[in-house]
Amino acid sequence: MSNKGDKAIANGSGRKFSDILFIIWAGGTALLSYSLVYALRKPYTAAAFAGYEVFDMDYKVVVTVVQIIGYVISKFAGIKLISELKPQDRLRFILLSVVMAEASLILFGLMPTPYNIIGMFLNGLSLGCMWGVIFSFLEGRRVTDILVSLMGVSMVISSGTAKSVGLFVMNTLNVHEFWMPALIGAAALPLLGLTGVILNRLPQPNADDVAQRNKREPLNGIQRWALFRNFMPFLTLLFIANVALVILRDIKEDFLVNIVDVSRHSSWLFAQIDSVVTIVILAIFGLMAYIRNNLNVLTVLLVLIVISMICMTIISFGYERLQLDTVTWLLAQSLCLYLAYLTFQTIFFDRFIACFKIRGNVGFFIALNDFLGYTGTVLVLAGKEFFNPDIDWAYFYNRLAGYTGVICCIAFIFSLVYLHQRYRKEYPVLTDKKNVLIITYE
């Protein structure tokens, strides 16, 4: 017995050590990969493009909308492409996407304004599927929660870092604002190609992974529609809330230099704040890996984001009354927003598939979710430009954040109720004790 016990302990220790190594390998590579995607996509947001217009419209708004339109088209195509993408085609997809993205940034610098906006359209078109493709290397594993948490927080830290690097390149290196994105992208391109090769060498999920998280398979059109129809009330609520979250996040990322007076702060302020938010969210998501019950994880996540949305609503609608300084306000807004947004970009749908033993993959949910959200961003920005071009960005953002918090609270509370009712229906366990019928979870 002693020998068997020692062997079991040794095997358990060896497994934990191998898991740690794999997390460092896979999670670290995924984090770096998507951070580099941001280096190809977001540095332009550090530029103000003051004095430029496109048909009497603000140039930066037009550039942002045009890039997002390309992104939306890519996301729409991604509903099919990512859902059906086979493992052997992932690396080729990544390499082609990043080369096209850098070429589009060079085009943005070369062409005269306003015609160079075509470069930003092609940039968005090139990179719209990158999240789903990188995510597909990580899903369906016992340690997926930690892996995708590492990847997910890259969204938080990379947004601020991209702005800070962009400001540094323009202010310190004196690179013109139209060429700054191409210079940063050129540095990111070879590194991103290398991380793609490393991700492609990751082993496939093993038997233990499949047992705990369900096997992940490509989905054709008929299967995608059947899956959505099966969970339509639940998914509709989530998608409506996430449209609001994506819109709010895009406006915060793309127009933060308009919302906040950056001249009064260090160019590295955004990176510093996002680093703090990153650590907090990484700790929260990392703890989810220790909860094996998928329903419990989904419940905890929904409760946490409801609380974060309540806090965001109070901070936004009480902005003038609370009189928060810029750093405190930005830190609170970022933490509340990204906790909710990243929940659905990382852990939630992976656990949802495992909870209900769904045949499919996370890419379908994320691509559909992002397509709807970015479409909403285009409509909001276009509406703003046509109906109120001289808007106060700080006031506009706080109003939008407040209403987003209200919408999300309602949607997520109803989602939580549906989730538990559906689970009771799917997996009832009936126990008769002293003639009392008790319904519990599996």
Digit-coded pLDDT (tens) for 386-416:
777 677 888 889 999 999 999 999 999 999 9
**Distance between start and end Cα atoms, the chain:** 32
pLDDT of residue 439 exceeding 70, the answer is no
**What confidence score (pLDDT) does residue 429 get?**
56
**What confidence score (pLDDT) does residue 364 get?**
87
Radius of gyration of the chain (CA): 22
The three-state secondary structure class of 192 is helix
Name the residue ranges covered by the structural domains of the chain.
Answer: 2-202+212-440
Residue in the block written with tokens 């339109």: 69
Share of the chain above pLDDT 90, in %: 48
**What confidence score (pLDDT) does residue 435 get?**
37
pLDDT band (50, 70, 90) for residue 440: very low
Residue in the block written with tokens 């990043």: 98
Q: What is the DSSP string of 346-397?
A: THHHHHHHHHTT-SB-HHHHHHHHHHHHHHHHHHHHHHHHHH-TT--HHHHH
- Mean pLDDT (whole number) for 30-54: 90
- Mean pLDDT (whole number) for 107-118: 93
Per-residue pLDDT tens for 54-88? 887 888 888 988 998 999 999 999 999 988 988 89
**What confidence score (pLDDT) does residue 139 get?**
92
**What confidence score (pLDDT) does residue 432 get?**
40
Q: What topology does CATH give the domain 2-202+212-440?
A: Growth Hormone; Chain: A; (1.20.1250)
Percentages (nearest 5) of helix, strand, coil residues in the chain = 80, 5, 20
Share of the chain above pLDDT 70, in %: 91
Per-residue pLDDT tens for 122-150? 999 999 999 999 999 999 898 888 898 88
**What confidence score (pLDDT) does residue 266 get?**
67
pTM over 0.85: no
Instruction: With beta carbons less than 8 A apart as the criterion, state whether 40 and 189 touch.
Output: yes
How deeply is 240 buried, as exposed, middle or buried, from its count of CB atoms within 10 A (0-12, 13-18, 19+)?
middle
Pairing of strands 57-58, 429-433: unpaired
**What confidence score (pLDDT) does residue 8 get?**
45
Instruction: Fill in the DSSP letter of residue 141.
Output: S
CA atoms in the 13 A half-sphere facing the CB of 224: 19
Per-residue pLDDT tens for 188-213? 999 999 999 999 999 988 888 888 88
